[in-house]
Amino acid sequence: MNAPYFNQKQPIKFKKGKSKGLAFRHYDADRKVLGKRMEDQLRFAACYWHSFCWPGTDPFGGETFLRPWQTAETMENAHLKADAAFEMFELLDVPFFTFHDRDIAPEGETLAESNKNVREIGEVFARKMEKAKVRLLWGTANLFSNRRYMGGGATNPDPDVFAYAAAQVKNVLELTHDLKGENYVLWGGREGYETLLNTDIKRELDQLGRFLTMVVEHKHKIGFKGTILIEPKPKEPTKHQYDFDVASIYGMLQAFDLQDQVKINIEQNHAILAGHTFEHELALASAVGILGSIDINRGDYQLGWDTDQFAMNIPEMALACYYIFKEGGLGTGGFNFDAKLRRQSIDPDDLLEAHVGSMDACARGLLIAEKMINDGVLADFVAERYAGWDTREGKAILAGKRSLDDLSKSVLKKGLDPQPKSGKQEHLERLLNDYI
């Protein structure tokens, strides 16, 4: 039997003001925000891999955490790990968790054995979820760590690898369904290339389309009601990944005719690696109707890899929450902590500190967004700025009732010379700061 892993023994509570022990200062699960309990708006999920699997390595350094279950890849350790994970879920009182198949159980000699291992821990989960009142936000298959996937899963030049990946997804998708997961995620970290010299983009896109379609077909076949999500990331581990960003995936979904079947799981760190702000990706996905869920973390704008730090930046969280909640929130999605400790944070309770700090930062973001949405000052400014498009002529243009000829005639006839209006960016930034 597993002794408790954390030094913290009591679930962490919301306490206003400064307090001695670890407490939430802003995240108050039951507080109503924008019409729902804060917990039901943010739908926090703790993740398995960064918090319980990653051992603290980096490309130049070995393990630093030395957690008790990290001595070997055994089923016994998998059970210890599950104990510690649920210990943390309960201490944090998060409503959800997320996992990859290879996070929860060691790979076996054969896929059959691997699947069995995953299913065995799946049963442990079912019991623990019941007891701890923790739900599954999403499951996913790891199609990137094993060397068989070094050249891709769905986009592998070898159809046998494609088949293997498909078989692995089937197992986790069904487990996710059985555990009443609310979504299923695909991350294509090997679906790209290291060098164009050995790559056929056209073939790989066809393979990717077929793979994704099969997943959607299987979802319907088994009656899974959750959302299928793709998580964009432009690069790392490979030189180039097809799921580059929201706009790229939107193009592929249309080409695969899946734009109504698949949504997007947006991560801050992946957004910035693609050269976008987090809020850009959120707003764009909203605008084209494919915003699904988010991976909440924080990249370093000056480092070119996925640092996956715990999100702590309050103005950033405020903006993200504004763009998420002004459109009504995430539906089946949630705020998943795809975030990892710095490898020097080797005390067990550093994990708790990090989550608490970031949950508080998100809560502050949500509360700021609530005020911005309720006041409506920013939204009104924007609506006013585009008001010309709500006139009869504006609508006629958009409705396709005006041609180049029409507009040209009109401009020439009226001698139109439209004058620019101030964009008021600094004014808006100042306004925004008033909320922070």
Window 397 to 436, contacts with a second copy (CB under 8 A): 397-398, 400, 402-405, 407-408, 410-412, 415-430, 432-434, 436
Which residues make Cβ contacts (< 8 Å) with residue 4, sequence separation at least 6?
Answer: 87
Q: In the complex with a second copy, which residue's Cβ is closer, 51 or 129?
A: 51
By CB under 8 A, is residue 110 in contact with a second copy? yes
Tell which positions 56-75 bind a second copy, by CB under 8 A. 56, 58-64, 66
Provide the residue count of the chain. Answer: 436
Contact status, residue 202 vs residue 242, Cβ threshold 8 Å: no
Q: Cβ 428 to a second copy, closest distance in Å?
A: 4
**List 179, 296, 356, 366, residue binding a second copy (CB under 8 A):** 356
**List 34, 124, 373, 378, residue binding a second copy (CB under 8 A):** 378
Strand positions, DSSP E, 128-177? 135-140
φ, ψ at 189 (rounded to 5°): -65, -20
Taking the C-alpha atoms of residue 131 and residue 13, their distance in angstroms, rounded to an integer, is 19
Q: Cβ 30 to a second copy, closest distance in Å?
A: 22
**Is the peptide bond prior to 237 cis by the omega test (within 30 degrees of 0)?**
yes
Catalytic residue among 103, 243, 245, 360: 103
Tell which positions 15-44 bind a second copy, by CB under 8 A. 18, 25
Taking the C-alpha atoms of residue 258 and residue 266, their distance in angstroms, rounded to an integer, is 18
Catalytic residue status for 103: yes
Looking only at the bridges linking them, the beta strands covering 192-193 and 240-241 are: antiparallel
Catalytic residue status for 83: no
Task: State yes or no: 63 annotated in a binding site.
Answer: no
SS3 annotation, 13-56? CECCCCCCCCCECCCCCCCEECCEEHHHHHCEEEEHHHHHHCCC
Taking the C-alpha atoms of residue 34 and residue 194, their distance in angstroms, rounded to an integer, is 46
Q: In the complex with a second copy, which residue's Cβ is closer, 128 or 364?
A: 364
Which residues make Cβ contacts (< 8 Å) with residue 96, sequence separation at least 6?
Answer: 43, 44, 45, 46, 134, 135, 136, 137, 182, 334, 336
By CB under 8 A, is residue 326 in contact with a second copy? no
Q: In the complex with a second copy, which residue's Cβ is closer, 71 or 408?
A: 408
Task: State yes or no: 83 annotated in a binding site.
Answer: no
By CB under 8 A, is residue 221 in contact with a second copy? yes
Q: Cβ 128 to a second copy, closest distance in Å?
A: 26
**List 81, 218, 263, 270, residue binding a second copy (CB under 8 A):** 218
**List 8, 41, 117, 171, residue binding a second copy (CB under 8 A):** 171
Contact status, residue 294 vs residue 282, Cβ threshold 8 Å: yes
Tell which positions 274-303 bind a second copy, by CB under 8 A. 274-277, 279-280, 283-284, 286-288, 300-303
Task: State yes or no: 267 annotated in a binding site.
Answer: yes
Taking the C-alpha atoms of residue 388 and residue 412, their distance in angstroms, rounded to an integer, is 19
For a second copy, which stretch binds (CB under 8 A), given 5-13, 78-86, 131-139, 157-165?
A: 157-165
Task: State yes or no: 417 annotated in a binding site.
Answer: no
**Which residues are catalytic, by number?**
100, 103
